[in-house]
Amino acid sequence: MTTVREHAKQHTKLHAPVIAIDGPTASGKGTVAQQVAQRLGFHYLDSGALYRLLALASLRRQLAVQDVAALTLLARELHIVFRDGYVKLDGVKVSNEIRAEEIGNRASEIALHAPIRLALLARQRALRTLPGLVADGRDMGTVVFPDATLKVFLTASVEARAQRRYKQLIEKGFPASIEILSQDLAKRDARDIQRVSAPLRPAEDAKILDTSNLSVEQVVGKILEWFVALSVPVSHAHASA
């Protein structure tokens, strides 16, 4: 029986495959995407972290979220390093700082602006390298990687997502309230869905999966199952070209 990594290697001889995992805040996409990438031996892109890093940097520089020109310039010049599970901004580890709710809400506001999204687009696409990439965000399958090998859109109820976010924040030492988190998630969903530039929505060919009552392992398993089912042997791919 072939393994998921062997199926993944079938793609690498043609081009670097991408699994795009989109969904609203706290739908589980980050944790799931990391585990899928690990199982396949692929690179991992947390696109949301880019916007959170920009939000943190802009806050430190006291830039207004409406100052699109300054934020776009900052987005192009950010010195960011993703390595071994941590994130560095300007040479300093900020993995925990960018997970604060204040930064998440600010990132959501910044992401409304098309010039800023465009400035970060090239940085995201540059991460598509062999042996492959698992990318999570809100527009991975619709805008950043429209030709992704597999597109997945994760959903979950606001209640389930608030519980997950609450647990994450408490574990990281941040104060949190289920009620406030539920309200913030609903507001952030509305902003992401209604924005003009790259709104949050499933790609037409995305597979939709409600994770409200599923474990991380169940979701990871389903995505790997879909990926293996889509894998086409190289000989067949050449034959149909």
Residue type at 54 in one-letter notation:
L
Q: Do 185 and 26 contact (CB within 8 A), yes or no?
A: yes
Does 229 belong to an annotated binding site?
Answer: no
If DSSP codes are grouped into helix, strand and coil, which group holds residue 83?
A: strand
Residue type at 227 in one-letter notation:
F
Q: Residues, the chain, total?
A: 241
Q: 171 in the Ramachandran plot: left (φ > 0), alpha (ψ -120 to 50) or beta? A: alpha
Does 28 belong to an annotated binding site?
Answer: yes
Q: Do 155 and 27 contact (CB within 8 A), yes or no?
A: yes
Does 31 belong to an annotated binding site?
Answer: yes
Q: Which of 52, 190, 191, 198 is nearest to 114 (CA)?
A: 198
Does 26 belong to an annotated binding site?
Answer: yes
If DSSP codes are grouped into helix, strand and coil, which group holds residue 178?
A: helix
Does 30 belong to an annotated binding site?
Answer: yes
Does 23 belong to an annotated binding site?
Answer: yes
Does 27 belong to an annotated binding site?
Answer: yes
Token digits of residue 163: 């519980």
Q: Residues annotated as binding site for ATP?
A: 23-31
Q: Residues annotated as binding site?
A: 23-31
